[in-house]
Amino acid sequence: MSKPLVHQFVIDSFHLVLDVNSGTLHAINELCSKLIDRLAPPLDPEPDPALYSELSSYHPELIKEAYGELYELWRKNLLWADWDDSIAIDYETLPVKSLCLHVAHDCNMHCEYCFASSGNYHGKRELMSEETAISAMEFLFRESRGRHNLEVDFFGGEPLLNFDVVKKTVEYARKREKELNKNVRFTLTTNALGLTHEISDYLNEQMYNLVFSLDGRREVHESMRHANAGGETYDRILDNIRYCVEHRGDKSWYVRGTFTHKNLDFHNDVLALAEAGLKHVSIEPVVLPDTDPLAIKERDLHKLHLEYERLARELIRRRKNARKSPPGMDFEFFHFSIDLNGGPCAYKRLKGCGSGTEYLAVAPSGDLYPCHQFVGKEEFKLGTVTRGIVNPQVKARFCRSPLRENDDCKTCFAKFFCSGGCAANNYNTNQDLSKPYKIGCDLMRKRLECAMLIKACEAFEQE
């Protein structure tokens, strides 16, 4: 059993406590907060007499009543819950269920912060051949074994530069999935510069999810994302995305922007996208070496905390107003959409994203890597789509759960929502797969607190 762990935090007038092991969130008053600070399991049915003198500013009856409620929660395993840490994961037998196909190591844009070095991943500019893409699909069908649901993401660079191979891959997979009783969910990430109506119609028919890269406010976008052909792109890209999502029905999509040290007031970028009618928004902090002028610095964190809080308040306000006089200008912020009731099982929470084991990336050459951010780093090459995994020692580096091995993760309240963070971010900032990227951890925790604040507000609204 792992130790009970509770996390208290206050935002605005809300005093919240998360019971980490049970996943239960409670709104509490100040007296309960003070009691929780002073208590540790196992609890007795009656409060320790010392509590009455320690909290002498409260009437004894109030203390007894509040203590009784906390005692009941503890008894029901909703506060200071234990967690069964005996779950065993056999990494050797995990099937591959997801591939990121780098169909283009080339791009029609060059962005200031691109981790892929303007699309070529620090290597040569090349497109994946149809033969390699089909070999990758066969590798996935073979290595997924009994698994039914599979995912394939078309990525780059800019995948639309190799749209013909995208279509041929989908066509091949649709035929094979029927023969093999598989369900392949295709997704595609694009800068939308070459997103014609014809391509949009095709993607809307075939893609389970679409991710569009756009940075929010026009001036931020134009200063960071440059077309190789020159000229401004914001209006053209916005029009392209609008056509696509307006014809997409209920299918999933996101606009994914990046904020840097130069636009720490990123809540304005989220709202700019919402005002432009793009309501599914994800604006993410850039991850760059600390020496890069665009990198997020530790001294930026306080400002970013306030931005996330501001964004949460704005979301709460708009949803409240929308209920009174619909339709309001609602929006969805990726990291505030958390499932507190029916999230993934404990195995999934321990495994996290699956990089290096369940999720692999395929370079245009057919080389396999642990994820899209490791592509081109030779020390992380796992094998090829035709030969399979030939470097098991690389895979072994990913067969681990940070939640069990990292002291920082063991005591972190966010651990079951974050699963130990991003191995690529850890490596890129600390040259160590398992050493947490501190800035990423800090922002993850803040986003979770804001997401929980929104859930609490919604619960009180429904009363």
Partner 1 sequence: MKNVKTINSVKAEHKHVNCGECQASCVANQTCEQK
Binding site for partner 1 (CB under 8 A): 16, 22-29, 31-32, 65-66, 69-70, 72-73, 78, 84, 87, 94-95, 97-98, 147-149, 151, 185, 334-335, 337-349, 352-354, 358-359, 371, 416-419, 448, 451-452, 455-456, 459-460
Q: What angle do CA 283, 103, 223 make, to 5 degrees?
A: 35
452 vs 282: CA distance, rounded Å: 17
46 vs 315: CA distance, rounded Å: 42
438 vs 397: CA distance, rounded Å: 20
How near is the Cβ of 293 to partner 1 at its closest, in Å?
A: 26
How near is the Cβ of 292 to partner 1 at its closest, in Å?
A: 22
Q: Which is nearer to partner 1, 234 or 427 (by Cβ)?
A: 427
Q: Which is nearer to partner 1, 27 or 389 (by Cβ)?
A: 27
Q: Which is nearer to partner 1, 29 or 430 (by Cβ)?
A: 29
Q: Which is nearer to partner 1, 27 or 306 (by Cβ)?
A: 27
Query: What long-range pairs does 223-232 form, CB within 8 A, spacing at least 24?
Result: 223/112, 223/262, 224/111, 224/112, 224/113, 224/258, 224/260, 225/109, 225/111, 225/112, 225/191, 226/109, 226/110, 226/111, 226/112, 227/108, 227/109, 227/193, 228/107, 228/108, 228/109, 228/110, 229/108
295 vs 293: CA distance, rounded Å: 6
> 190 and 210 in contact (C-beta within 8 Å)?
yes
Q: Which is nearer to partner 1, 202 or 208 (by Cβ)?
A: 208
453 vs 316: CA distance, rounded Å: 9
Tell me which amino acid residue 125 is. R
Q: Which is nearer to partner 1, 9 or 334 (by Cβ)?
A: 334
| Number of other residues whose CB lies within 10 A of the CB of residue 72 | 13
How near is the Cβ of 168 to partner 1 at its closest, in Å?
A: 23
How near is the Cβ of 309 to partner 1 at its closest, in Å?
A: 18
129 vs 172: CA distance, rounded Å: 14
Q: Which is nearer to partner 1, 12 or 290 (by Cβ)?
A: 12
How near is the Cβ of 433 to partner 1 at its closest, in Å?
A: 16
| Number of other residues whose CB lies within 10 A of the CB of residue 219 | 12
Q: Which is nearer to partner 1, 351 or 381 (by Cβ)?
A: 351
How near is the Cβ of 164 to partner 1 at its closest, in Å?
A: 26
How near is the Cβ of 352 to partner 1 at its closest, in Å?
A: 6
How near is the Cβ of 163 to partner 1 at its closest, in Å?
A: 23
